[in-house]
Chain A
Amino acid sequence: MNIKKISSLSMLTTFALIIYSIENTLPPLVPIPGIKLGLANIITLIVLLNFTGKDAFLVLIMRILLSTFILGQTLSFFYSLLGGILGFLIMYILNYLFKNDYIFITSIFGALFHNIGQIMIAVIITKSLAVFSYLPFLIISGFITGLFIGLCAHYSQKYLLKLR
């Protein structure tokens, strides 16, 4: 890792943190728990496209850890962690297969698996299968937000290439 890479990765982590904290202060859009835009995932996608999968994973884990320290929500740490890792794994595999193309498809699958991971943690915490009735809502919201986030990353890529 050279200095340029370290500084750009840490800058992107900071961006992700800022986006995450701002999004957290917004009131929830719909009264169903678990549904949110996930804007910080734009940064994960950008790192995945411009750097390696290892770097994207590092940025993701650092963002989750630091946001837990700053915002102090220990419970949402576990959701974010399992959902984030599950979503990242599927995005990494798909992005590897597609060779950086079709980023919105990758992003939709990332969002869907993120939501599935969240539900899994919720089942473990509440020891009840009742939370599974949120799954259809979370799938639809994951489709919409994943598409939006993917398109954001896709169009930002055009301007990031100029910066290089």
Chain B
Amino acid sequence: MNKNTTKKLLLILCIILLFVTISSIFVILFSKQNKTSDNYIAKIYQDGIVLYSIPLYEVKASYTITIHGENKSENIIQIEPAKISIISASCPDKICINQGAIENSLFPITCLPNHLIITLEATSSIPNIDIVTY
């Protein structure tokens, strides 16, 4: 391969890199801005199956739920008004606890050893009507 083609390849790769990086910055900024509602439903998945679906806007007092997985794995999830976090895990790395509480749909909490994902999904139609009169 001569020098000219190397230069061309370098240029193409740099353009790809710039494109990918800038587009991912835009994706992050866009999804941050796109917080249309403060009404999220927390969905707790294990192995792709929804275990719990909790409307966080209805939570008034914080409580915890414990989820058991295979090999006696255990996660304690704390649900607070408008946010959710994992406070205890049986895995050694504790990445999910370090992630802290999430309050928007920017990224989910994952606990890979226990195959657990917690996502927040914005609800489009919320029964947010105070009173109905006829």
Residue positions of A touching B, CB distance < 8 A: 27-28, 31-33, 73, 75-76, 94, 97-99, 101-102, 105, 108-109, 112, 122, 125-128, 130-131, 133-137, 139-140, 143
Q: How far is the CB of A39 from chain B (nearest CB, A)?
A: 18
Residue positions of B touching A, CB distance < 8 A: 1, 6, 9-10, 13-14, 17, 20-21, 24-25, 27-28, 31, 45, 47-48, 92-93, 95-96, 98-100, 105-108, 110, 112-113, 115-117, 119
The A/B interface has a contact count, at CB < 8 Å, of 87
B25–A133 CB distance below 8 A: no
| Further contacts, 7 of them, CB under 8 A, given A126-B45, A126-B47, A130-B110 | A28-B98, A127-B47, A128-B117, A130-B119, A131-B110, A136-B28, A143-B17
A105-B10, A128-B117 as given contacts; A33 in contact with B99, CB under 8 Å: yes
Give complex CA distance A120, B122 in Å: 25
Instruction: Tell me the dominant secondary structure on chain A's binding face.
Output: helix
A139-B20, A140-B25 as given contacts; A131 in contact with B13, CB under 8 Å: no
A31-B99, A101-B6, A126-B48 as given contacts; A133 in contact with B13, CB under 8 Å: no
Q: Which residues of chain B have C-beta atoms less than 8 A from A136's C-beta?
A: 24-25, 27-28
5 contacting pairs across A/B (C-beta < 8 A): A33-B99, A105-B17, A126-B115, A130-B119, A136-B27
